[in-house]
Amino acid sequence: MAIVKAPRKFLASIRARRAARPRRSLADWIALTIARGLSLALVAGLVYVTYVVEMTGYKDFLRCNPKSSITRFEWVLGFRPADDCRPQIH
């Protein structure tokens, strides 16, 4: 019977904790929504910038090596050839 009582006790403690929490005001909900939207926009911006940088490097590589069989997916994963066509600085 102890096995049956454990989930009930656990669920009762969760319900009690939820009931003890104060309700959020409208201003709190608005602030949370704005914060979530800004964080989503920030992450989306970082993903987009990363994509642009990676694809620019890939296009530059293909301009130098048009017969290369490397795909964009391989390029983004980091499988890059050992030699490239950038001028070497000595």
Tens of pLDDT, residues 24-69: 889 999 999 999 999 999 999 999 999 999 898 888 888 888 888 8
pTM of structure: 0.59
What is the SS3 assignment for the chain? CHHHHHHHHHHHHHHHHHHHCCCCCHHHHHHHHHHHHHHHHHHHHHHHHHHHHHHHHHHHHHHHCCCCCCCHHHHHHCCCCCCCCCCCCC
Tens of pLDDT, residues 70-90: 888 888 888 887 766 666 665
